[in-house]
Chain A
Amino acid sequence: MNTVNDTLIPVLGVITDVRIDTPDVKTFRVVTPDGKKAFDHKPGQCAMLSIPGVGEAMFSITSSPTNTEFMEFSIKKCGCVTDWLHQAEAGQQITIRGPYGRPFPVDTEFKGKDLLFIAGGIGLAPLRSVINYCRDNRADYGTIDIVYGSRSMDDLVDYKEIVDEWTKDTDVHVHLTIDREQQGWDGHVGFVPSYVKELGFDTNKTAIICGPPIMIKFTLDAMIELGFDKTQVYTTMELRMKCGVGKCGRCNIGAKYVCKDGPVFRCDELDELPDEY
């Protein structure tokens, strides 16, 4: 009996590094106790992290699959599990299981395409995985544009990596924006949807949007206005989850389960779902 694997039984993970990204976002580096990656994943997939006695929650894996040494999770402090994680130090053990969900179609629909990533706030977390995957497999993709906005410059996740690495790549164009004027910021100021319209991208691009639901909604509207078709736009969804494999019933929308049929959806697929997310 004990030899049968069950997805509900996690493995051990160790937090080896905690990076403070913003006032409410920290990035946790996780490996197994023997220093390896817990499992392989594809960009956009998620993992269940837990602290026994506190709870278990689903997080997108922020690091790229091309990182063979460790996994990273950028986590915003906003509930029981995340509060606990935010006070954890390096060396803390946690449990981890996964990977879960349908990844971004990096090996199929994205291949050879010019990519446009649009993120708002903590929405950069799942996109960082696919952005770095595409940067590491540069020859497989066309140009890469990244539009990223946050409340303030202090709330931009992965700011150092964006400035030190992404902006220095050839054919990677980073467009940052913050919601309100701020001392020390000479970049763009304004909300993401209007900035996207202002930048006016070529409609041959494949776009990936991730952020708060309201930001996704208005950005998608902006894209449609620019002439994009919903079949060219991908996004990720988030609902409460317990099992991660479409059995506990929580993340059910229509005939889909966000944990296994998502979290990545093409926007025309969302039209098929009842408006309940």
Chain B
Amino acid sequence: MRKCSLSKLTDLFQKINESASLYLPATDNAGGAVYTKWADGVEYLDVLNTVRSPKDFFFPQSENLMEFKLKGKNIEILDIREESEDFVIFGVRACDVKSFEVLDRVFLSEPVDSYYQNRRAHAVIISMACMRPADTCFCTAFGIDAAEPAGDVSAWKTECDLYLKANTEKGAQLLAKLSNLTEECDDSEVSPLQEKIRNIMKKLPLEGISLENFGKGKTKEYFDSPLWTELSEACLGCGTCTFVCPTCQCYDIKDFDTGSGVIRYRCWDSCMYSDFTKMAHGNSRNTQVERFRQRFMHKLVYYPENNDGLFSCVGCGRCLSKCPISMNIVKVMKALGGEKK
């Protein structure tokens, strides 16, 4: 493990930024934090969660996939893919690091999504332990330890020091570059901090969430539950939950006529939207109840069934704080019996 005085943090960012673009949470000038490309003067903002999750780095809200040139009856297909820059994401919370695994299972399974893979391969992730978990946090339910975040490098921040520990080859290479700014220290130096974090986690209001009743083989049990109607009654179908969610990955593919050609792009979509499944002969999910049910069934039952029990939720709490009608996955889980007895 290495440590670095917080007074040298700017030097550290400077050094990282020399070999790869550095991104970190900084103020969005609206009270929240947003991942920002670091430059001299950009301050690291140590808030719990960025408003938008870091999934944007690998699965951006919109990205161009290819271009077409049209001439009479002829078409030319242009492969516009480019090698991603090398980049480092600093300050990713344990829950968000876990979300990359959830996304990897989708985009890196055969046939591999080359757009996602390219960016993933060029990224180094420096996570950050959560010194002040919030009331909306429930990552522990998913086996995530906020005191021991994963990533290529794990980081802990105290009043005066930043501790860094490499978990992967990529992480070790990065730390090697920072050796002049850091000094060796014992892993045990962060132990008191970890204990403090774990103690806070135990006392959080959502500590009682249990996944025991969810996962593989639960489709029949929950699909026809009368509770969906009541739970979804006030849902506006705005899709905010899906956009702030670090694991939601449904997308649309659309064409844009530039005047001199066509750009085919991919953008985030939401199962909460009425035209998500609408096709010429009808819509398989006509009502908001069905769409609402789909989102939670996918996260709690369908996804785990296809991914060795891994849930498509990491307990980051973004949907809890952003839903305009205060509906969220925790309320759904509780209603369906997901509380520790």
Q: Give A contacts to B, CB under 8 Å.
A: 1-2, 4-12, 52-56, 78-79, 82, 89, 91-95, 212, 238-240, 242-243, 245, 247-250, 252-255, 272-277
Are B255 and A248 closer than 8 Å at their CB atoms? no
> Which residues of the other chain, B, contact A250 by a CB distance below 8 angstroms?
250, 269, 276-277
Are A52 and B285 closer than 8 Å at their CB atoms? no
> Which residues of the other chain, A, contact B66 by a CB distance below 8 angstroms?
8-9
Q: How many residue pairs between the two chains, A and B, have CB atoms under 8 Å in the bound complex?
A: 126
Size range of the chain B interface in the assembly: 35 or more
> Which residues of the other chain, A, contact B280 by a CB distance below 8 angstroms?
78-79, 82
Check A274/B277 contact, CB under 8 A, given A9-B79, A95-B75, A245-B111. Answer: no
Check A52/B70 contact, CB under 8 A, given A12-B75, A94-B75. Answer: yes
Q: Which of B68, B107, B271 contacts A53 (CB 8 A)?
A: B68
Check A243/B253 contact, CB under 8 A, given A9-B79, A79-B279. Answer: yes
Min distance, Cβ A102 to any Cβ of chain B, angstroms:
14
Task: State the majority secondary structure of interface residues on A.
Answer: loop
State whether the Cβ of B302 lies closer than 8 Å to any Cβ in chain A.
yes
From 87 to 123 in chain B, residues with beta carbon under 8 angstroms from any chain A beta carbon are 106-107, 111, 113-115, 117-118
Top 9 A-B residue pairs of the complex, sorted by shortest distance between their CB atoms: A249-B250, A79-B280, A52-B68, A255-B305, A52-B262, A6-B114, A78-B280, A240-B279, A274-B223
Check A255/B302 contact, CB under 8 A, given A1-B83, A94-B75, A250-B277. Answer: yes
Across the interface, name the chain B residue whose C-beta is closest to A254: B219
Are B290 and A276 closer than 8 Å at their CB atoms? yes
Q: Which of A8, A93, A248 contacts B74 (CB 8 A)?
A: A93
Q: What 0/1 readout, one digit per residue, does chain B (238-282) give for beta carbons within 8 Å of chain A?
A: 000000000001111111010000101010010100001111110
Min distance, Cβ A67 to any Cβ of chain B, angstroms:
24
A201 to B250 CA separation, bound complex (whole angstroms): 44
Across the interface, name the chain B residue whose C-beta is closest to A258: B284
> Which residues of the other chain, B, contact A6 by a CB distance below 8 angstroms?
81, 111, 113-115
Min distance, Cβ A84 to any Cβ of chain B, angstroms:
12
